[in-house]
Structure formats: C-alpha cells, structure tokens
Amino acid sequence: MTGFPRDFVWGVSTAAQQIEGAVDADGRTPSIWDTFAHRPGTIADGSDADVTCDHYHRWPEDLALLGELGVGAYRFSTSWSRVVPEASGKPNAAGLDFYERLTDALLERGVAPVVNLYHWDLPQWAQDEGGWRDRDTVARYAEYAGIVAGRLGDRVATWSTFNEPFEHCMLGHVTGEHAPGLTLPLDEAFAVAHHLLLAHGNGVRVLREAGAASIMSINSYAPARPASESDADRTVAALYDVLQNRLFTEPLLLGAYPEEVAPLVEPFVREGDLELIASPVDRWGVNYYAINAVRAVDGPIPLEVVAPEGYPRTAFGWAVAPEGLGEVLRDLGDRYGDALPPLVVTENGCAYDDVVDEDGRCDDPDRVRYLSGHLDAVAGAIEAGADVRGYFVWSLTDNFEWAEGFTKRFGLAYLDYTTGERIPKTSFGWYRDRIRAARGGEG
Ligand code: FCB
C-alpha cells in the first residue's frame, strides 16, 4: 500500500444529535433539531431523534466497536443543550460527566478523542433568544465552549469549533429544510454566516486559553459544475462555488470575505471581527461526499443543486465521484498555498439501502467500493503533494440522518432501530483491515 504515512490518523465521525437520543435525560433540554423534528412534515419518515442509536446509554457498545475497528481517533460532538440546558448559562454537571466518561474511556483504549463543539444542534433556548441571526449568540457560544474546554481541556488534544457552517446556514436558515427551519432572504442569511464565523473565532480564542493543542474548523467541499454549458448555469455554478467552497473558508485563511459576497456581509461586520475570525488554526477539516452540478432556476434562490450525469449514485442520489475528493484536496492547496494548514478528511461516506440477511449479516459491497475509491483518491492527492494527515469515515453506525430521518444508512455498522443492536457490515471489516494494512500489519 502506498500513499499513507505511518502516523496518518484513521478515524470515524459521529454527531451528538444523530446518535445520542436520551433527549431529556439528566437535565438536557431540547435543541432546535428536537423542536424541528417534532413539527409535522419536516422529516422524511416522520421520525425524530428522541432515541435514535441511544448512544447516551449504549456508548460502551460503540466504544467496543471502535476498539474492534482499530481506529486511532474518534470524532464526536458535544450537545450544547446537554451541557448548558438553560438560558441562565448554568453548566449541567451530569451532561459534562457524560462527555468526560466517554473521553476517559476512549483514552484508556488508546483512541484519541476529537471533540467538535457544534454540529447544528443549537439549544432551543438560544434560538428563542434570536439564534444565529443575533450577534449575542456568539457570546453564548463562547461561554459554552469555555465550559466544555474547562472540563475536557486537560485530556482532549484535538478540537473543532463547528461542523459545516455552510449547510447549517443555508439549509437551516434559507431553504428551511433543516432546523431551525427558517426561510430568510439570502441577504439576511449573511448575518447568520458572519455570526457563525465570529463564534468560530471566539471558540479558537477560548480553546487556546484552555490549552488546546490542535484546533480546526470543519467545512464541506464539493466541486460545483455547471449543469449545462448555458451562461445561466455557469453563473449560478460560480455563485455556488463561492457560497459552499469559499464563504466559510476565506475569512479564516485570508481574513477577508470573497469579493463576490463581501458587500452583502459588510452590514454585519464590526471592527476587529475579521482579525478574530482569522485566528490561526492547526488543521483544516474537509468533509467530502460528492461532486455537484448546479443549474439556474427561477425563484428567491436562483439555483438548484443536482447530481451530475454520468456517475453511479448512492441511495441519497449523490454522485459517486472519488476524483472530486482528490480535486478538492489539491485545489485547497492551489488556492490558499501557505495559508492552508495540514488537511484532515473529517467526513467521507455514503448511504445505501443496506439490509440484514437471514444469517444476520449485512453485506455492503457498494460502500466498500465507495470508501476504497475515495481512499485511493486521498493517497493520490498525497502523492501529488497535498498535506493530508487523516481520514474519518462518516459514520460508525447508521443514525438519524437529519431531514431524511432513518431512511439513509451511512454506518459501517447496521443499526436495528427496533432492538438497538449494532451489526458490523462488510465495510466494517474492510476498513479494519485497511487500517491494519496501512499501519504495516500491526494490530
Ligand atoms: C454531512 C453532515 C453529517 C452527515 C453527513 C451524511 O453533511 O455533517 O452530519 O449527515 O452529511
């Protein structure tokens, strides 16, 4: 096997809202996703995240799976409304205890915890106070970040401030497909974007004060191709590239908004904001799933994202295009040069209609093919000079896939939602062996 340095970090990623369940246990209060999911018509199968994988209670089983896989790192997120359940800002000791137990158990097994502070699950109380439209939410995030860092900072080396602010901003605040389900005009959504970025900057400050060794932000990237050769499609593809691939990247790396959107964000920017947003980070998290095609449509949002023609598709309808990952990794280096920290692929994976057969086995050759192709693309990018330090599969087990509910299975292990049983799929064994081989055969 070529391409992977021996100290390359192999991992899997999860998110609190998608796996924990136990939404009212030990003082936790609702997040915006709990509220949203309980609103009729929001989730494809009418489900909610009240129980999902019940990881809050069954985490030892998930930890055992991580041990079997042999990953070196596990990326999870902390639930803000578990840690700070009320607007008073008072920390919830029981919530912190949970993350501490998990962290300690990971460390005991030699698995490095990678803690993400925000994966789309704003507490409902913070939404009621204005949510991300409101600049005050930035200060509330900093308080929360300080509380988590205060408890775990002596043990957790690697942190991330946010997961995919682009999706959270646009799907949650413009198209309304995600919580909190707002449909703001694009120019108001730039307030949300700026406040998310400013919260990131504050998060970096707070984490540094707590002694964090390695901090990253995590963005999703997808090459944006015009759906046709028409001028209209080319124009919206270029706009989409700015929004998805540059809006949440350039303020951090270059200290400036892309010029195409700068005038729209301007009204929300105060002196000193951009300096804080551009606080240096140590790693650059890249989530990659697919290449997108973009076409022009009439309406308040002038574009539509579709799967490009000519590729196999996952059960989500997303194009299987490993070369897009190589392109993203190389393009980041080309675009930002020395300003770019070392890269980590913090999410990559696929949904297929997995089933458990009569013998209790779940065979998922499509996922093996997908992951294998994408790992080859990472190896190719490294050989071409990209500085990639790790790769995390999304996800350890099937889980609550946001607006898709339980209809999309992304796990290396199948989740039987009736019994809660975790059943490793073929891809689980494949990933375990691949990690072992890349490490030179040692267990
Ligand atoms: C990403 C999200 C993650 C998961 C995957 C499939 O955009 O970060 O939570 O839903 O997509």
Residue 27 token pair: 């003082």
- Name the pLDDT band for 442 (thresholds 50, 70, 90): low
Q: Quick check: is 259 catalytic? A: no
User: Quick one: how far is CA 128 from the chain centroid?
Assistant: 24
In the chain, domain spans: 9-438
Q: Which of 98, 102, 76, 77 is nearest to 27 (CA)?
A: 98
For residue 6, which phi and psi values (nearest 5 degrees)?
Answer: -65, -30
The answer to whether residue 350 scores a pLDDT higher than 70 is yes
The rounded radius of gyration (Å) of the Cα atoms in the chain is 20
Average pLDDT over residues 59-69: 98
Q: Decide whether any atom of ligand 1 lies within 6 Å of the 163 Cβ.
A: yes
Q: Decide whether any atom of ligand 1 lies within 6 Å of the 20 Cβ.
A: no
The answer to whether residue 443 scores a pLDDT higher than 80 is no
Residue 189: partners with Cβ closer than 8 Å, 6 or more residues away: 169, 170, 173, 174
37, 94, 164 from 346: Cα distances, Å: 26, 28, 11
Q: Decide whether any atom of ligand 1 lies within 6 Å of the 290 Cβ.
A: no
Q: Decide whether any atom of ligand 1 lies within 6 Å of the 144 Cβ.
A: no
**332-347 tens-digit pLDDT:** 999 999 999 999 999 9
**128-185 tens-digit pLDDT:** 999 999 999 999 999 999 999 999 999 999 999 999 999 999 999 999 999 999 999 9
Considering the entire predicted model, what is its pTM?
0.98
CATH superfamily of 9-438: Glycosidases (3.20.20.80)
Average pLDDT over residues 347-367: 98
Catalytic residue among 20, 250, 327, 347: 347
Indicate the burial class of 373 (C-beta count within 10 angstroms; 0-12, 13-18, 19 or more): middle
Average pLDDT over residues 252-264: 98
Q: Decide whether any atom of ligand 1 lies within 6 Å of the 347 Cβ.
A: yes
Q: Which atom of ligand 1 lies nearest, measured to the CA of 167?
A: 7
Q: How far is the CA of 352 from the centre of ligand 1 (A)?
A: 14
Q: Quick check: is 20 catalytic? A: no
Residue nearest to atom 4 of ligand 1 (CA): 401
Residue 14: partners with Cβ closer than 8 Å, 6 or more residues away: 55, 74, 75, 76, 77, 395, 396, 397, 399
